[in-house]
Structures are given as C-alpha cells and as structure tokens.
Amino acid sequence: MAQLRRDYEQFINHDAEIIVIGPEDSKAFNSYFQKENLPFIGIPDPDHGVLKLFGQKVNLFKLGRMPGQIIVDKHGNVRFIHYGHDMADIPQNEEILAILDNLNAEQD
C-alpha cells in the first residue's frame, strides 16, 4: 500500500479512486489505516465476500490472501485484473496509470 500512498495524487489526477479491500476485521483495518495515515478508502472483508465475487484465491501456504489489483470503470465494468502469486507480485503504479490513461482516452 506504500506505493499507492506515494502516488495517490497521480491516481486522483487520472480521475481514479483507490479502494483497498483487506481480510482484517473492521477494528484492525481501521487501526492500520489510521496508523499509516492512508488517504484512500479501505473496506474490511474478513469473510472474503468481496474476494469471492472477483474470484481471488486464498493461499494458506502463503499466509492467506494474495494481492490483487482490479480496475473497475465508471460503468462498473472490470477492465483489468492482476492476481499476484506472492506478496511482491504487484504491478508498478506506472503500469496502472498507463491503463487509466487508455481508459480515459476511450471515454473522450
């Protein structure tokens, strides 16, 4: 989440909002968001309901939910999904921002 925080203004400038969905309960999730001063929206998902809707897997051998990045356009259509194979397997912000550029160009 540090890289998302670092470039948060760029995401806003690309007409995007970051929503982080995590496996913790609401108390732990809120505590983490406040402690880290995260500027984006966080949604606790301890029962994995949202995770299941998007088909993301839980890998108990790797301590639970693997990272996933999903871009949903303004019409509610999923336009990009990346499910990581480990905690370091996440797209760079530049890649996500380029996808947002393409989506914004489609809407012009």
Handedness of CA 77, 67, 21, 23 (dihedral sign): positive
3-state helix, strand, coil in the chain (%, to 5): 40, 20, 35
- H-helix segments, the chain: 2-6, 8-13, 26-36, 49-53, 93-107
**pLDDT score of 57:** 67
- Of 69 and 63, the structure prediction assigns the larger pLDDT to 69
Q: Tell me which residue of 80, 74, 75, 72 sits closest to 19, measured CA to CA.
A: 72
Which CATH architecture does the domain made up of 2-107 adopt? 3-Layer(aba) Sandwich (3.40)
Q: What is the pLDDT of residue 58?
A: 66
Please, which pLDDT band fits residue 12 given cuts at 50, 70 and 90? very high
Candidates 105, 96, 104; CA nearest to 7 is: 96
- Can you give the pLDDT at residue 62? 54
Domain spans of the chain, in order of start: 2-107
pLDDT of residue 61: 62
Give residue-wise pLDDT tens across range 24-38.
899 998 999 999 999
Q: What is the pLDDT of residue 50?
A: 85
93-108 core/surface letters (b: 16 or more CB in 10 A; e: else): eeebbebbeebeeeee
Residue 63's pLDDT is what?
Answer: 59
pLDDT of residue 105 exceeding 70, the answer is yes
